[in-house]
């Protein structure tokens, strides 16, 4: 059985998510627990690196990612650092002969990205980017249907990724608001995801016509500070895009979408059918088929929901009928139990809750047997 030892570089918001996901993979696919291990972690500071190694349960931590690259027991690095460090770390990792898994966006600009693509090719290492939204089963089904000609000639497409993450002018400066650290604003951060999905499903864009805007031009330098600093990246990016065959689409990207928690969606309209995906309902791909029978009262036409649910090829657990969030819900349920033990508090849902449900179920059985209402105490 092959094994892989990963060096995790960066352990902020997404680093933790990657670490948890590596631990889950053996359970999903029935692999030995030691087939995938995080062998070391690096951040920018000794304390955060040590804290990370304690959370992950790995023996090695460093405040210099080069220390990970120097280790023989690391096969691959996972880069979860701000965008302005991806180029340097990828080049160093490729030179060290490590395989590379890197967060999006790949780079600060095309010149950097070209050098990185060349470096991993020259070093002959495996290199993958984290365009994670591709991996919803509904997206795989959409790709399959498009390939099979389900929508026919694509008339137009529409993608959007709106979040409300920056609507408060009190939200302070961070690396995501500085071009020197991020390369671009909402366009790079959120846009890279929805643009990748459209590219994955429909192929290359041949031309774009976009307008970017910054709606809050200065922000506090720190939480609660009256001192402000300029924001030099976009908050919104709206664009028209064309595919090489002339097909026209629109893409809306915004961090200023009031009320939009994580509003990623797309529609693809064709002469035979249409597809819709909404991240709020990731278990379903919505499809419309013009070949469905029509009649004066509507026949059978209309958008239908295909149950993509959790259909991952080769997955052992959970079974495919479970929603994509099923594992997370179990983790939360278990965490609430463990926290109650640690804090010496009553856990919930309790055995009293279980007893109540038991009474309802038993009453339902008695009611069915006797053919009458059963009153619950
Ligand atoms: N795919 C997704 O859904 C998704 C979601 C969030 C973030 N991201 C991407 O992940 C990356 C990190 O984002 P985040 O939100 O986790 O950032 P963050 O600010 O929460 O964490 C960044 C981490 O990187 C470390 N770091 C910074 N420079 C480093 C260096 N030179 N060497 C070692 N460690 C370094 C910091 O110490 C910190 O641990 C960004 O590229 C971002 O675009 C992707």
Task: Answer yes or no: is the C-beta of 104 below 6 A from any ligand 1 atom.
Answer: yes
pLDDT at 157: 98
Whole-number Å distance between alpha carbons of 66 and 192 = 28
Interval 81-123: pLDDT, tens: 999 999 999 999 999 999 999 999 999 999 999 999 999 999 9
Whole-number Å distance between alpha carbons of 247 and 205 = 9
pLDDT at 97: 98
Residue nearest to atom 20 of ligand 1 (CA): 12
278: left (phi over 0), alpha (psi -120 to 50) or beta: beta
Angle, CA 265 vertex, CA 130 and CA 328 arms, to 5°: 55
pLDDT at 365: 92
Per-residue confidence at 335, pLDDT binned at 50, 70, 90? confident
pLDDT at 21: 94
Task: Answer yes or no: is the C-beta of 44 below 6 A from any ligand 1 atom.
Answer: yes
Per-residue confidence at 328, pLDDT binned at 50, 70, 90? confident
- Percent of the chain at pLDDT exceeding 70: 100
Residue carrying the six token digits 């997404």: 14
CA of 324 to the centre of ligand 1 (A): 24
pLDDT at 212: 96
Task: Answer yes or no: is the C-beta of 13 below 6 A from any ligand 1 atom.
Answer: yes
pLDDT at 250: 97
pLDDT at 2: 87
Task: Answer whether 0.85 is exceeded by the pTM.
Answer: yes
Task: Answer yes or no: is the C-beta of 192 below 6 A from any ligand 1 atom.
Answer: no
Closest approach atom of ligand 1 to CA 83: 41
pLDDT at 75: 95
Spatial CA neighbour of 223 closest among 178, 180, 174, 175: 174
pLDDT at 298: 85
CA of 104 to the centre of ligand 1 (A): 10
Report CA-CA distances (Å) from 350 to 335, 339, 345.
14, 14, 11
| Minimum mean pLDDT range among 16-30, 225-239, 319-333 | 319-333
1, pLDDT greater than 80: no
pLDDT at 377: 79
For residue 324, what are its two tokens?
């994509």
Choosing from 8, 9, 12 the residue with most ligand 1 atoms within 8 A of its CB, the one to mutate for a pocket test is 12
The rounded mean pLDDT for the chain is 95
Residue nearest to atom 7 of ligand 1 (CA): 14
| Minimum mean pLDDT range among 45-54, 139-148, 259-268, 346-355 | 346-355
38, pLDDT greater than 80: yes
Task: Answer yes or no: is the C-beta of 82 below 6 A from any ligand 1 atom.
Answer: yes
Per-residue confidence at 198, pLDDT binned at 50, 70, 90? very high
Task: Answer yes or no: is the C-beta of 80 below 6 A from any ligand 1 atom.
Answer: yes
Interval 236-286: pLDDT, tens: 999 999 999 999 999 999 999 999 999 999 999 999 999 999 999 999 999
CA of 185 to the centre of ligand 1 (A): 15
Is residue 348 within 8 Å of 336, Cβ to Cβ? yes
Task: Answer yes or no: is the C-beta of 85 below 6 A from any ligand 1 atom.
Answer: yes
Per residue, the 3-state secondary structure of 151-217, as one string, reads CCCEEEEEEEEECCCCCCCCCCCCHHHCHHHHCCCHHHHHHHHHHHHHHHHHCCCCEEEEEEECCCC
Task: Answer yes or no: is the C-beta of 84 below 6 A from any ligand 1 atom.
Answer: no
Residue nearest to atom 43 of ligand 1 (CA): 104
Is residue 265 within 8 Å of 138, Cβ to Cβ? no
């Amino acid at each position: 059985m092959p094994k892989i030892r990963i060096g995790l570089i960066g352990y902020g918001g997404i680093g933790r998510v990657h670490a948890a996901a590596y631990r889950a993979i053996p359970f999903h696919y029935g692999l030995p627990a030691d087939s995938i291990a995080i062998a070391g972690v690096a951040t920018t500071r000794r304390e955060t690196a040590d804290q990370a190694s304690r959370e992950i349960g790995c023996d090695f931590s460093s405040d210099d990612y080069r220390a990970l690259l120097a280790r023989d027991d690391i096969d691959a690095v996972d880069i979860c650092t701000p965008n302005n460090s991806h180029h340097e770390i990828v080049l160093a990792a490729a030179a060290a002969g490590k395989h590379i898994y890197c967060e999006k966006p790949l780079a600060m600009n095309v010149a950097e990205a070209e050098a990185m693509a060349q470096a991993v090719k020259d070093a002959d290492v495996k290199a993958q980017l984290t365009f994670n939204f591709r991996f919803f089963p509904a997206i795989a089904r959409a790709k399959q249907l498009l390939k099979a000609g389900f929508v026919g000639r694509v008339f137009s497409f529409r993608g959007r990724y709106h979040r409300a993450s920056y609507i408060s002018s009190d939200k302070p400066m961070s690396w995501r608001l500085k071009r020197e650290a991020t390369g671009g604003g909402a366009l790079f951060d959120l846009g890279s995801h929805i643009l990748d999905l459209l590219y994955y499903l429909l192929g290359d864009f041949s031309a774009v016509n976009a307008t970017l805007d910054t709606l809050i031009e200065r922000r506090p330098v720190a939480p609660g500070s009256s001192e402000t600093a300029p924001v030099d990246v976009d908050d919104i990016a709206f664009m028209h895009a064309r595919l090489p065959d002339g097909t026209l689409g629109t893409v809306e990207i915004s961090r200023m979408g009031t009320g939009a928690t994580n509003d990623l969606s797309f529609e693809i309209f064709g002469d035979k059918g249409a597809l819709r995906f909404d991240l709020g309902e990731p278990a379903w791909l919505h499809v419309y088929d013009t070949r469905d029978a029509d009649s004066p009262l509507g026949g059978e036409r209309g958008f239908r929901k295909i149950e993509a649910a959790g259909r991952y090829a080769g997955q052992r657990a959970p079974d495919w009928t479970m929603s994509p969030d099923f594992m997370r819900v179990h983790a939360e349920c278990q965490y609430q139990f463990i926290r109650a033990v640690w804090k010496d508090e009553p856990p919930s849902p309790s055995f009293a809750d279980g007893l109540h449900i038991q009474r309802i179920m038993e009453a339902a059985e008695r009611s069915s047997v006797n053919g009458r209402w059963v009153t619950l105490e």
